Amino acid sequence: MKTLRSAACLLVLAGSMQAQPGLAFDVNTGKAPTEVVIPNVIPVIYGSVSPTAGDAPLVLRITTLVTNSWFDAIAPYHPTAVGAYSNLPRQAPEAATDANRNVAIIYASYRVLNSLLPQHKATWDAMLIGAGLDPDDDSQDPNTPIGIGNLAGMAVAAARERDGMNQLGDEGGRTYNRQPYADYTGYAPVNSAYELRNPSRWQPAIVTSGSGIFRVQQFVTPQLRKTEPYSYDNPQVFQTPVPFASNASHRQAYRAQADEVLAVSANLTDLQKMTAELFDDKLRSLGFSALFASQTRGLSLEQLVQYDFVTNMAAFDTAIAIWNEKHRYDAVRPFSAIRYLYGDRPVTAWGGPGMGTVDELPASQWTSYLKVADHPEYPSASASFCAAHAEASRLYLGDDDLGWAIPVAAGTSLVEPGVTPQAPLAIEFPTWTQFERDCGQSRLWGGVHFQASITAGQAVGNEIGGLAYDYMMQLLSGVSE
């Protein structure tokens, strides 16, 4: 519930960035992405996709497809642009108004959201009605904003329903009891949650909501590696260095990288803890940094759409390449390595919520500050997403300036509520480079990654951030694939 309240607060923040609270959406002067669509999508993501918005592949695919639909919906109003999945008739210059763009954006979102999250149709209907639009208007007239929006959204939805992620749940020949997003590639972990047969390989963690039901993790969407990227053809080209220190036969290096995680855990600052929590939530970190930048830069509606699309697509395309590497190396997480190395022997580390640093902590009782995500360790997905996001931002915005400062009230930690931070603090990102670096390091602070994984993830993210920008520039110049 804390997360939901927090989401609701952020939502108000996001809304207030563009809208006058209490006033209806003004189609002529408003910005539908931030005033209409995002405020409706965020609660659904927190409520029924990922309670902490930490399940990156699932969250990113939704945000990418929605922003893609915005891009495609306004392409016909641009002098040269084509959509990623549509090439609708170019509209006369006098039709290129924000009123038309807003209407097209909302209908495009409606079509994509009903494809991605059909169980929330009532929310999407209300979203349109709230904006003064008719959810039952299924016009396909390519020379009206409603028809353009519908066509653009339907094209994105159709192209992406079978992009490899198994959105429909029928991959692998399944007809009955379809299982959306289920693995169809046959991944099975080498280790069980109960036995670390191979200390170099990933071990699913045992997770609980705290009331007695325990469950074992499953690698989330291993099929992401087979999913269609936007900005390149083949994820195999983004190869990361072999994670030498995650190979337990390299005993000294294996131990050194685990010891580094313990040393960081023993010396966690409140700023590190709160930064780790920020970056664990992809909406609060990736999403809100983009909203902040678009406001401070005074981006037009058209620019806002382009910028949101390029940053989301950059992270999504990065995820595909990173999943390919995660699957290839299937590497061990710190919690398994630390138990393997030290068993019940004492280590010095963070001792759990409110316990601070403990000198004689049995290694088997150590846990990471952040909950560990449902996938193998190497490379770091979060580090790669932030690097892609930062690189796409630098390229689109033209410089490295960010200037984002996030005030954090005392005791607002989700991990240590009422305790951390002891005093109010601010998380500050003067530049995108700082944002990217702190994001990466925060995965070490959070105890869920080794250093090598962060560096490797950032390199892939930076590279694909550039490719995503190039791809969008191609679309803007009128070159479709």
Whether residue 413 contacts residue 269, with contact meaning beta carbons closer than 8 Å, is answered with no
Contact between 176 and a second copy by CB under 8 A: the answer reads yes
Contact between 180 and a second copy by CB under 8 A: the answer reads yes
Rounded CA-CA distance 146/265 in Å is: 54
Contact between 374 and a second copy by CB under 8 A: the answer reads yes
Q: How many other CB atoms sit within 10 Å of the CB of residue 371?
A: 16
- In order, the DSSP letters of 422-464 are SS-EEEEEEEHHHHHHHHHHHHHHTTS--HHHHHHHHHHHHHH
> Which of these segments, 47-55, 254-262, 273-281, 385-393, binds a second copy (CB under 8 A)?
47-55
Residue from the set 46, 70, 107, 181 that interacts with a second copy by CB under 8 A = 181
Residue from the set 8, 49, 410, 473 that interacts with a second copy by CB under 8 A = 49
Contact between 218 and a second copy by CB under 8 A: the answer reads yes
Within 8 A by CB and 6+ apart from 39, the residues are: 11, 14, 15
Contact between 367 and a second copy by CB under 8 A: the answer reads yes
Rounded CA-CA distance 433/160 in Å is: 32
> Which of these segments, 79-87, 88-96, 321-329, 365-373, binds a second copy (CB under 8 A)?
365-373
Contact between 20 and a second copy by CB under 8 A: the answer reads no
Toward a second copy, which CB reaches closer, 123 or 433? 123
Q: How many other CB atoms sit within 10 Å of the CB of residue 44?
A: 17
> Which of these segments, 9-17, 51-59, 104-112, 267-275, binds a second copy (CB under 8 A)?
51-59
Contact between 211 and a second copy by CB under 8 A: the answer reads yes
Contact between 118 and a second copy by CB under 8 A: the answer reads no
Separation in Å, CA 394 to CA 224, 290, 308: 26, 11, 13
CA angle 476, 32, 162 (to 5 degrees): 60
Min CB(131)–a second copy separation in Å:
24
Positive or negative, the Cα torsion across 451, 455, 460, 465?
positive
Contact between 179 and a second copy by CB under 8 A: the answer reads yes
> Which of these segments, 81-89, 150-158, 359-367, 423-431, binds a second copy (CB under 8 A)?
359-367
CA angle 112, 118, 119 (to 5 degrees): 150
Contact between 376 and a second copy by CB under 8 A: the answer reads no
Tell me the backbone φ, ψ of residue 302, rounded to 5 degrees. Answer: -65, -40
> Which of these segments, 87-95, 230-238, 364-372, 398-406, binds a second copy (CB under 8 A)?
364-372
Contact between 357 and a second copy by CB under 8 A: the answer reads no
Contact between 334 and a second copy by CB under 8 A: the answer reads no
Number of residues forming the site for a second copy (CB under 8 A): 48
Contact between 94 and a second copy by CB under 8 A: the answer reads no
Rounded CA-CA distance 316/58 in Å is: 10
> Which of these segments, 209-217, 385-393, 449-457, 465-473, binds a second copy (CB under 8 A)?
209-217
Rounded CA-CA distance 345/304 in Å is: 54
Site for a second copy in 310-329 (CB under 8 A): none
| Orientation of helix 381-397 relative to helix 432-445, angle to 10° | 170
Rounded CA-CA distance 261/450 in Å is: 7
Whether residue 115 contacts residue 85, with contact meaning beta carbons closer than 8 Å, is answered with no
Contact between 5 and a second copy by CB under 8 A: the answer reads no
Residue from the set 207, 410, 419, 476 that interacts with a second copy by CB under 8 A = 207
Min CB(452)–a second copy separation in Å:
26
Min CB(372)–a second copy separation in Å:
13
Whether residue 311 contacts residue 290, with contact meaning beta carbons closer than 8 Å, is answered with yes
Toward a second copy, which CB reaches closer, 79 or 180? 180
Residue 92 three-state SS? coil
Give the footprint of a second copy on this chain (CB under 8 A): 48-50, 55, 57-58, 119, 174-183, 188, 192-195, 204, 206-218, 220-221, 351-352, 355, 358, 361-362, 365-367, 374
